[in-house]
């Protein structure tokens, strides 16, 4: 049976905001379902992916990238460290800073996670080519960055 659920189209919910929230909720649910056998959620997976892409990062940089406060980022790193997926190591350029790096077990799991991530993305109908995904990503990043700047400006 086709989905006939009503969708919000009237103010104050403009269609783009409602569509973004609905998509984000379903993406989150899909990722959480795929990764639950690893006892990971999207935040843990994203933290590991950041380290795969950028190498060891400070907890501060990880928290900022994941839009988490210091305490939440620290708790996430602590959990992954207890599970043997990440380790803290001294930053060679600044002995006051600890970098978070993947362990061998973390790298192996990250590789498997990458394969699972690809399976989730196969469920994105009509947005399966890289050009479309890049365009959507750029627009969403602009919206996010502008809203963050505005919120920071108003909080100061």
Q: What is the pLDDT of residues 29-48, one digit of tens each?
A: 888 888 888 888 889 999 99
What are the residues whose beta carbons fall under 8 Å from the beta carbon of 90, sequence distance 6 or more? Answer: 97, 98, 99
* Segments making up each domain of the chain, as ranges: 15-123, 127-156
pTM equals 0.73
Nearest Cα to 56, choosing from 111, 108, 93, 109?
93
Mean per-residue pLDDT over the chain, rounded: 85
What is the CATH class of 15-123? mainly alpha
pLDDT at 80: 97
Please report which confidence band the pLDDT of residue 1 belongs to, taking 50, 70 and 90 as the band edges.
very low
Mean pLDDT of 81-90: 97
pLDDT at 7: 62
- At 98, give phi and psi (nearest 5°): -105, 135
User: 120 by DSSP, 3-state: which?
Assistant: helix
Residue 115 confidence (pLDDT) above 90: no
């Amino acid at each position: 049976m086709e989905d006939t659920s009503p969708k919000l189209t009237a103010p104050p919910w403009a269609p783009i905001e409602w569509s973004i929230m609905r998509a984000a909720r379903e993406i989150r649910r899909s990722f959480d379902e795929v990764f639950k056998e690893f006892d990971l959620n999207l935040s843990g997976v994203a933290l590991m992916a950041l380290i795969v892409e950028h190498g060891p990062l400070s907890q501060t940089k990880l928290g900022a990238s994941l839009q988490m406060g210091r305490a939440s980022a620290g708790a996430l790193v602590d959990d992954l460290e207890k599970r043997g997926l990440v380790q803290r190591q001294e930053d060679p350029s600044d002995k006051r800073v600890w970098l978070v790096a993947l362990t061998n077990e973390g790298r192996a799991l990250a590789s498997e996670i990458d394969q699972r991530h690809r399976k989730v993305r196969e469920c994105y109908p009509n947005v399966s080519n890289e050009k479309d995904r890049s365009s959507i990503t750029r627009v969403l990043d602009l919206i996010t960055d502008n809203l963050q700047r505005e919120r920071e400006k108003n909080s100061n």
